Structure 1
Amino acid sequence: MKRDTITLASPPSLQFLLVHPAHLVACGFGSGLSPRAPGTVGTLFAWLTFPWLRSSMSDFELLGFLLLCFLGGILAVHKTGVDLGVIDHGSIVWDEIVPFWLVLLFCPAHWLWQASAFCLFRFFDIVKLPPARYFDEKVKNGFGVMCDDLMAAGHTLLVLAILRFVLT
């Protein structure tokens, strides 16, 4: 496939999404094509799809599924980033989806806890506290892209645990 000159600000076309399964996955089944805030839209996609995942798997099965999604995501994100010419292109949102599913797995089911988790996750994904910043700046491949959001998930879960301890 011939590479288009795609910038971080412009999403790829729907045709690009359908050229390779890795593109479909990495771009969050189309949620990453949003012209505005694709990371937020991808995280919203994760939140909206989580109830279906939750109802169809046990905790152990869901953890295994998330591990497979993370490992497969490393490959899909890397392939898509290479094809787009930017390893962490804005339209790649699988790195938001899988870690946020993990956050929701450990988050209380109440909508207020989940909304707080959503806001915290987006905050930590944008701010990139260490070690997320290291993965974002130094590890320029699919593993680095996936890991910086996994670190944001870890920070989110830590804050949620502290809040739960203080409030209950």
Structure 2
Amino acid sequence: MITFTEDGIRARRLPFIVATFFGTGLSPLAPGTAGSISALPLAWVLLQMPLLTAGMGVAFLFALGLWSANHLEQVSGQHDAQIIVIDEVVGVCVSTLILGWWLRAAVDPYLLLLLAFVSFRLFDIVKPWPVGWLDRAIGGGLGVMIDDIAAAIMGALCVLGFCYVALVASI
């Protein structure tokens, strides 16, 4: 567990707030899932935006995640500490963007968010190759963030594959 002194939090408030996504990562119960759930309102807003604008927003959030995760890793000495949930937030947003691009016209937005959340969490928890490998092989903020991007892409592709098979089977 990471402990921060009062001075440490004050001196590093912004990276701490970003990395924990406004304190969501401090949840005593399943902080990764709590972080993913807290990303859903943001993901819903992204669905309302043009794809390029939403993509730029997620890229900016990814850059903030790299910076804050690097900072907390240096302060704590721990790689991918449980309180860092900005990677889960970005993962849900990436999954939502991919699914939204392909399924926005065909699927209710709330179902789309549920599919993005569940598929991302499944791949983030199970960590099949290359997700698990990326998690172990890459250090620093990039290592914290990149495995969740891979989990988001893999989860979204599985949902799209299932939708394609269901569509072909219905013809």
TM-score using structure 2 length: 0.82
Equivalent position of 1:38 in the other structure = 31
Return the index of the structure with the highest Cα Rg: 2
Are 2:119 and 2:155, in contact at CA under 8 Å, matched by a contact in 1?
Answer: yes
User: Quick one: which of 50, 58, 68 aligns to 2:50?
Assistant: 58
Residues paired across the two proteins, number: 159
Report the CA distance between 1:135 and its aligned residue: 1.7
Equivalent position of 1:3 in the other structure = none
Report the CA distance between 1:63 and its aligned residue: 0.4
Are 2:70 and 2:140, in contact at CA under 8 Å, matched by a contact in 1?
Answer: yes
2:120 paired with 1:134: no
TM-score using structure 1 length: 0.84
Equivalent position of 1:123 in the other structure = 122
How far apart, in 2, do the equivalents of 1:75 and 1:105 lie?
Answer: 22
AA of the residue aligned to 2:69: V
Q: Deviations over 1:31-76 (max 9, x none)?
A: 1110010000000011122223443x32111101111211221111
RMSD: 2.2
Bigger shift: residues 12-21 or 142-151: 12-21
Equivalent position of 1:71 in the other structure = 63
Are 1:12 and 1:91, in contact at CA under 8 Å, matched by a contact in 2?
Answer: no
Structure 2 portions without partners, runs of 5+: none
Are 2:21 and 2:85, in contact at CA under 8 Å, matched by a contact in 1?
Answer: yes
Runs of 4+ aligned residues of structure 1 deviating over 4 Å after TM superposition are 11-18
Equivalent position SS for 2:39: helix
Are 1:22 and 1:79, in contact at CA under 8 Å, matched by a contact in 2?
Answer: yes
Change beyond 3 A, Cα 1:119–1:51: closer
Equivalent position of 2:17 in the other structure = 24
Q: Percent identity of the aligned residues?
A: 30
